[in-house]
Amino acid sequence: MPNAYISGTGFFAPPRVVTNDDLRSIYGIDTNDEWIQQRSGIKERRFAAEGVSCSDLAVPASEQAIQRAGLQKTDIDMIVFCTLSPDQMFPGTGVYLQRKLGLCDAGRFIPCLDVRNQCSGFLYGLSTAVALIQNGSYRHVLLVGAEVHSSALDLTTRGRTVGVLFGDAAGAVVLSATHEDRGVRGTYLGADGRYADTLSMKIWNIGNRPFIPVDADGFGRIEPRSMYPQMDGRAVFKNAVERLLVVLGESLQKHNLAANDVDLFCFHQANLRINEYVRDQMNVPAEKVINNIERYGNTTAATLPSLLFEAEQSGRLRRGMKVVLAAFGAGFTWGCSVIDW
């Protein structure tokens, strides 16, 4: 059975930088830089231009990952696309990326799978891609996490609790088959649906008839609480640290590892305070944990591939290192992966 390793990484963020002060001065949100940094660690984030979708952001990230893997686009056997901000309700966003990469024009009608596990999406997608490589179905799988949050944030004082946290970006990796003794050693996932409504966005509640209320002329009218994400921040923080500590501990134990045996930890970039708490509880030195939330905010499914790209590009992640990925998000869902780079 072949191993699956990450042969290439890629990342793209839109050029527009939105600082914490910009949220106050441009959008009129009653907030300030100190308040946001103190609660989240975020200094700035990126917002995509109007008309830009998450598949658009995914194109340069994917092309970079494919190029860094030493492959051509036509070498890709499957696309796994992770996002909570799809281009539209359906079809899945993976097929749009396939088309925009030129694979259809090249006659490469490869399968495309969308994964909707929010902040844990990349790890759920990673588990899927690795399994398909290990069972011999495919040799090269393009795994993408991409988000355009800015279109669906309540960027007013009313929505500041959630609106200040998120940014737009795309990260991608190529998973490839190898018979070398390296690659993804295991990915461990979990979920607790009791908290499904604790962090959610109700606009697509298909149980409603119609799912968006309409007036006499047939125009939809949506109340803000349904239109924008809603979050119980305290419940998210409490469950995040508890679940991350458990899944990290269990994953390391399964591989007979101590925290000191790991060269680099990549935690999902939801809140710097969560990551610092988990790091301190595990007695992990700060230099073994990479963060970029201060520059990009929470980019959901894109956070982990963006960290891998930056760590590899900067030289912090090198061949032979042991790296651990962990994430927690809406659902609640969570996961951890142990990788020999």
Q: What is the pLDDT of residues 71-99, one digit of tens each?
A: 999 999 999 999 999 999 999 999 999 99
Taking only the tens place, the pLDDT of each residue in 103-139 is 999 999 999 999 999 999 999 999 999 999 999 999 9
| % of the chain at pLDDT higher than 90 | 90
- Helical H segments across the chain, by residue range: 20-25, 33-40, 54-68, 93-100, 121-134, 160-163, 224-227, 233-254, 272-281, 293-296, 303-314
Bridge-partner residues for 145, per DSSP? Answer: 82, 171
| CA pair distance 282, 273, nearest whole angstrom | 14
Q: Is 112 one of the catalytic residues?
A: no
Residue 196: pLDDT over 90: yes
List the domain boundaries for the chain.
3-180, 184-196+229-340
Band (210; pLDDT cuts 50, 70, 90): confident
pLDDT for res 225: 82
| % of the chain at pLDDT higher than 70 | 100
| CA pair distance 313, 84, nearest whole angstrom | 27
| CA pair distance 116, 104, nearest whole angstrom | 24
The arithmetic mean of pLDDT across residues 224-241, rounded, is 90
**DSSP per residue over 13-40, as a string?**
--S-EEEHHHHHHTT--S--HHHHHHHH
Q: Is 268 one of the catalytic residues?
A: yes
pLDDT for res 265: 98
Distances (CA, A) of 162 to 10, 199, 270, 315: 27, 10, 11, 33
End-to-end CA distance of the chain: 18
Residue 224: pLDDT over 90: no
pLDDT for res 137: 96
Residue 180: pLDDT over 90: yes
Candidate list 239, 271, 292, 298, residue with the active-site label = 298
What are the tokens at 17?
């930088």
Residue 227: pLDDT over 90: no
Cβ atoms 14, 48 nearer than 8 A: yes
Candidate list 54, 268, 292, 336, residue with the active-site label = 268
Distances (CA, A) of 202 to 197, 199, 223, 253: 9, 10, 10, 38
What are the tokens at 248?
């990290």
pLDDT for res 288: 96
What rounded mean pLDDT belongs to the chain? Answer: 95
Candidate list 54, 119, 266, 336, residue with the active-site label = 119
Global pTM reads 0.96
| CA pair distance 171, 301, nearest whole angstrom | 8
Residue 74's Cβ-count burial label (10 Å; 0-12, 13-18, 19+) is middle
CATH 3.40.47.10 for domain 184-196+229-340, yes or no, is yes
> Which CATH architecture fits 3-180?
3-Layer(aba) Sandwich (3.40)
Helix (H, G, I), strand (E, B) or coil at 44: strand
The arithmetic mean of pLDDT across residues 283-296, rounded, is 96
Query: Which of 137, 123, 110 is CA-nearest to residue 171?
Result: 123
Identical topology for domains 3-180 and 184-196+229-340: yes
Band (209; pLDDT cuts 50, 70, 90): confident
| CA pair distance 204, 21, nearest whole angstrom | 32
Q: Is 260 one of the catalytic residues?
A: no
**For residue 210, how many other CB atoms are within 10 A of its CB?**
9
pLDDT for res 221: 86
Residue 86 has φ and ψ, to the nearest 5°, of -60, 160
